[in-house]
Structure 1
Amino acid sequence: MDKNEFTKIYQAYFEPLCLYAFRFFPEEGEATEIVQEVMLRIWEKRNTLPPVQSIEKYLYRSVYNGCVNRLEKLKVQNKYINYSRVRLLEIELENFDDTFYQWEIREKIDNEVKKFTPQVKKIFEMRYLDSMKYKEIANELGISERTVETHLQKATKTLREKLRKLFQ
């Protein structure tokens, strides 16, 4: 195929092929780009193209295949884009949930701790807020380690039960 033949084919079929591609891609740019790619491939492979019975059928089939390939490519791209968007939203929601629930749990614990007797509240705060050991708490308050242990066991048991009820 020489340059004159190709020019005739291009001029005769470019617009009808664009209209055909426009069925698949309503955006004129996409349709035109696909037809231009088909025409470019034909020009580049003009010396190696097998003989065809109908150039018209060949061109339409080539544009059809180009449209299908573009649709598949877009489908994969959109799938990845949508997956990325969904994953980002999931991460944001996970972080929101963690922050929200940590705050909510902390608030519930604080409310329950306020209900403890003054001595149990003091022991609980010394152990879990100040990170003191049983022996240190016992020495500071002038009570036995066993008393500290008993108060903390009751306090944590009470908290577990209250929180279990709240979050069921």
Structure 2
Amino acid sequence: MPHDWKEIQAGDEEVFKKVFDSYYQPLCLYANKILNDIDLAQDLVSECFINFWEKRTSIEIRTSFKNYLLLSVRNISLMHLRKSGEKLGNSQFVIQELEYVEDYVNELEEEKQIVRVHQAINKLPEQRRKILQLAVYNNLSYKEIATFLGISVNTVKTQMGRAYRFLKEELKDDQLTLFLLFGSNFE
């Protein structure tokens, strides 16, 4: 999400809304675990996003964007508990919950990436999609694919090249996912 952060810093409200929509619910669940008050958690998470937007040009993120949001919510929640005089509880609990929420947010991001890749693959013409799936998911060589489908090796090569070019364009904002899925063949 580094490109999102730069766009937000530049004042792109649409990107900010997209980030808000992606992270608001998991952050509220996390804050609620600390505060045990969902209404207060929602208020504090909203406050975090408002502060984040207002101070976006001066904020320096040294960790990941997601970790910055998680730490902001944790800090504002703990500050609220301190100010209200409530017990902070077990700090180990807070650390465990931070890790849990990080894992949850990571899973959501991975699921979104996987869905995007599958949607892009499903846009390919049927034969091209089959060839790509046999090469990537079944780890078949071009020769094995050609034999299996009863087509020439050159046709397999041509279709794979077209599939890669299409996916590279379709998923141009997510090159890391492409590399992880398809390896150096995708370059």
TM-score (norm 1): 0.44
TM-score normalised per structure 2: 0.40
Q: Which of the two has higher C-alpha Rg? A: 1
